[in-house]
Amino acid sequence: MFAIMAKQNKFKLVLVILTVLVLYFILFGYPIFRCLWWILDHFISKTWYFYFICIAVPIFLDIIALICTAIGFSIQSVKTRYFNHISTDYIIFVIILLPLIIICEFIFDFSSAALRYAWIVCIILLGICALYIILAHLNGALIMRKKNIYLKSTKIKQSLRIIHISDIHIG
Note the pLDDT tens digit of each residue in 46-92.
888 889 988 899 999 989 988 888 888 888 777 777 778 888 888 88
47 φ/ψ angles, rounded to the nearest 5 degrees: -115, -170
CA torsion through residues 35, 37, 41, 45, sign: positive
Instruction: Kindly report, residue by residue over 2-15, the tens digit of the pLDDT.
Output: 455 566 778 888 88
Cα-based distances in Å from 75 to 68, 83, 160: 11, 10, 26
**Rounded Cα distance, 4 and 35, in Å:** 46
- Rg (C-alpha) for the chain, rounded Å, is 22
Concatenate the DSSP letters of all residues of 29-94 into one string. HHHHHHHHHHHHHHHS-SSHHHHHHHHHHHHHHHHHHHHHHHHHHHS-SSTTHHHHHHHHHHHHHH
pLDDT value of position 125: 92
Instruction: Kindly report, residue by residue over 106-146, the tens digit of the pLDDT.
Output: 998 888 888 888 899 999 999 999 998 888 877 765 555 66
- What ranges do the domains of the chain cover? 2-141
**Rounded Cα distance, 49 and 153, in Å:** 65
**Apex 54 CA angle, 67 and 97, nearest 5:** 70
pLDDT value of position 14: 84
| Stronger pLDDT, 4 or 101, i.e. the higher one | 101
Burial of 41-61, coded b for 16+ CB within 10 Å and e otherwise, reads beeeeeeeebeeebeebbeeb
**Rounded Cα distance, 46 and 122, in Å:** 18
pTM above 0.85, yes or no: no
pLDDT value of position 4: 57
